[in-house]
Amino acid sequence: MKSISRSRAMCEWDDFASAAPQIRAALATPDGPPTPPFILLSEPGITASEQRTCSESWTAARRLAAAPLRARLDMRFDLSPRGRICVGYLSNDFHDHATAHLLVETLEAHDRSRFEIRAYSYCGLEGAMRTRLRAAFDAFIDISALTDVEAARRIHADGVDILIDLKGFTRGARTGVMMLRPAPVQVNYLGYPGTLGAGVCDYIVTDRYVTPPSSSSAYSEAFAYLPNAYQPHGRGAPPRAAPSRGAAGLPAQGFVYCCFNQAYKLTPFIFDLWARLLEATPGAVLWLSAAILAEGNLRNEIRSRGIDARRLVFAPHLPQAEHLARLQLADLALDTAPFGSHTTASDALWAGVPIVTCAGDTFPSRVAGSLLHAIGLPELIAQDFDAYFDTALVLAHDPPRCAELRAKLAANRLTTALFDVKAYTRALESLFETMWSRRLTGAPPAVIGAA
């Protein structure tokens, strides 16, 4: 499965169609090596139920090993009522990382009269974001030198009531700490768009668009529903003035489609659709995030579809503020599938750029749709890929309609729910209080939150 992951990162698609059958065969072979769950998120045709099967297979041996170890640790919990609920956030992304950019204003908005907020970090990268995050927590504990057992002991000794895992199965995750169950309540939140499987977390923070109640059997965690989009994003400072198109590497004229998702989210089907949009929009370019391993392959792929490779423009990595400034030059963002835009979608909307999406049936395929609902633009959620193509093409060829949509986005950006960090944080804290109340009374995890 490593070869599949590397091929996706390089956009090597010669054997793309054979990947899903390989994955399904691996899931059906209990004695074989487990498949990394993250791979399945970007694989077309894989269901949320298959993603759960994969997650539980991936963790089975470690969960089995963790059970007696946890018994020996004898971590008993104090379940008496207290003045403040202690919430611990576990991550190695407490630095200049997409998760930190999304979450920092929520952390800063927590009500410290009701919650004690602690960070458990296992990444040593310093910088301005790290400094800001340190100030956002009541305590910032570096566990990078600790083993999973030592980290679990520290979390337990600190009296953490609710432990939030911000990583899931993404790179650098330490789900081994979560499997030792050092806190009375454990929550899967933000970092991984899917289930972690049985025995890891009690709840997953989500919303009713991303994970409708009908999808509950595909998740081991109980749904903790926020009233609008599950994804946090504050308003912060408005984007800086946009640079010139030339300074951003864009041609002086022509419609700019963009997608700043990582290369592994691109698929041949989506790329076919984008090539058709370029063919039908003379002078347009497709603006993509720089991907050194993939750029040559993507140029070859676009040529093979009869499109001049110069119509692909690759944007180098920039600090967040500079990226948001240049992002305003795009006319329309295009979502990927089945692993869609997450942080990149909220970045686009904050920069005033509409995004067209086609929602699927899995968590990662529905996030952009969730954000569009929360900002009052559900008309950009296509019911199928024909409608996705038609919506994007109409906006590219109808400047008044595109301008009208951008004006609506500009008005909604500061008046709708998506970027209202104070309301978001209060709703999240309400979920934490309900989780803790249920634990104090001995009630098992169950669906909580917005009706």
At 334, list the tokens. Answer: 């295009």
pLDDT at 8 over 60: yes
pLDDT at 371: 98
Q: Average pLDDT for residues 29-47, to the nearest whole number? A: 91
Q: Note whether residue 239 is domain-resident.
A: no
Boundary (domain end) residue, out of 58, 90, 106 = 58
Kindly state whether residues 33 and 92 are assigned to the same domain. Answer: no
Kindly state whether residues 215 and 321 are assigned to the same domain. Answer: no
Q: Note if the bond before 282 is cis, omega within 30 degrees.
A: no
Of the pLDDT bands very low, low, confident and very high (cuts 50, 70, 90), residue 296 is: very high
- Cα–Cα distance for residue pair 264/336, rounded to 1 Å: 10
pLDDT digits (tens, 9 = 90+) for 200-256: 999 999 999 999 999 999 999 999 999 999 999 988 888 999 999 999 999 999 999
Closest CA to 271 of 6, 2, 5, 8: 8
Q: Note whether residue 73 is domain-resident.
A: no
Kindly state whether residues 119 and 198 are assigned to the same domain. Answer: yes
Of the pLDDT bands very low, low, confident and very high (cuts 50, 70, 90), residue 2 is: low
Q: Average pLDDT for residues 359-381, to the nearest whole number? A: 98
Contact 260, 335 (CB under 8 A): no
For residue 162, which amino acid is it? I
Of the pLDDT bands very low, low, confident and very high (cuts 50, 70, 90), residue 81 is: confident
pLDDT digits (tens, 9 = 90+) for 112-127: 999 999 999 998 788 9
Q: Note whether residue 28 is domain-resident.
A: yes
Domain span holding position 155:
80-234+421-449
- Rounded to 10 degrees, what is the CA torsion of 15, 16, 21, 27? 110
Q: Note whether residue 94 is domain-resident.
A: yes
Closest CA to 135 of 160, 165, 104: 104
For residue 435, which amino acid is it? M
pLDDT at 4: 82
Cα 187–Cα 188–Cα 191 angle in degrees, nearest 5: 140
Kindly state whether residues 301 and 178 are assigned to the same domain. Answer: no
pLDDT digits (tens, 9 = 90+) for 198-207: 999 999 999 9
At 39, list the tokens. Answer: 């791979």
pLDDT at 177 over 90: yes
Residue 159 exposure: Cα atoms within 13 Å on the Cβ side: 13
Q: For 323-342, b where at least 16 C-beta lie within 10 A, e where not — what string? A: bbbbbbbbbbbbbbbbbbbb
Q: Average pLDDT for residues 431-446, to the nearest whole number? A: 97
More reliable by pLDDT, 451 or 61: 61
pLDDT at 451: 67
- Cα–Cα distance for residue pair 292/263, rounded to 1 Å: 10
Contact 267, 261 (CB under 8 A): no
Question: Structural domain tally of the chain?
Answer: 3
pLDDT at 378 over 80: yes
Contact 396, 384 (CB under 8 A): no
pLDDT at 373 over 70: yes
Residue with tokens 């640079």: 243
- Which residues share a beta bridge with 289? 315
pLDDT at 237: 82
Kindly state whether residues 385 and 433 are assigned to the same domain. Answer: no
pLDDT at 64 over 80: yes
Residue 229 exposure: Cα atoms within 13 Å on the Cβ side: 29
Kindly state whether residues 266 and 353 are assigned to the same domain. Answer: yes
Kindly state whether residues 261 and 210 are assigned to the same domain. Answer: no
Kindly state whether residues 110 and 192 are assigned to the same domain. Answer: yes
Of the pLDDT bands very low, low, confident and very high (cuts 50, 70, 90), residue 3 is: confident
Q: Average pLDDT for residues 67-81, to the nearest whole number? A: 91
Q: Note whether residue 428 is domain-resident.
A: yes
Kindly state whether residues 350 and 435 are assigned to the same domain. Answer: no
Kindly state whether residues 7 and 100 are assigned to the same domain. Answer: no
- Cα–Cα distance for residue pair 27/53, rounded to 1 Å: 7
Of the pLDDT bands very low, low, confident and very high (cuts 50, 70, 90), residue 6 is: confident
Q: Note whether residue 246 is domain-resident.
A: no
Q: Note whether residue 131 is domain-resident.
A: yes
State the CATH number of the domain containing residue 286: 3.40.50.2000
Q: Average pLDDT for residues 291-316, to the nearest whole number? A: 96
Of the pLDDT bands very low, low, confident and very high (cuts 50, 70, 90), residue 269 is: very high
State the CATH number of the domain containing residue 119: 3.40.50.11380
Closest CA to 301 of 291, 375, 234: 291
pLDDT at 133 over 60: yes
Q: Note whether residue 133 is domain-resident.
A: yes
Q: Average pLDDT for residues 65-89, to the nearest whole number? A: 92
CB-count exposure of residue 236 (10 Å: 0-12, 13-18, 19+): middle
Kindly state whether residues 351 and 441 are assigned to the same domain. Answer: no
Kindly state whether residues 275 and 384 are assigned to the same domain. Answer: yes
Of the pLDDT bands very low, low, confident and very high (cuts 50, 70, 90), residue 1 is: low
**Ordered DSSP codes for 419-446:** T-HHHHHHHHHHHHHHHHHHHHHTPPP-
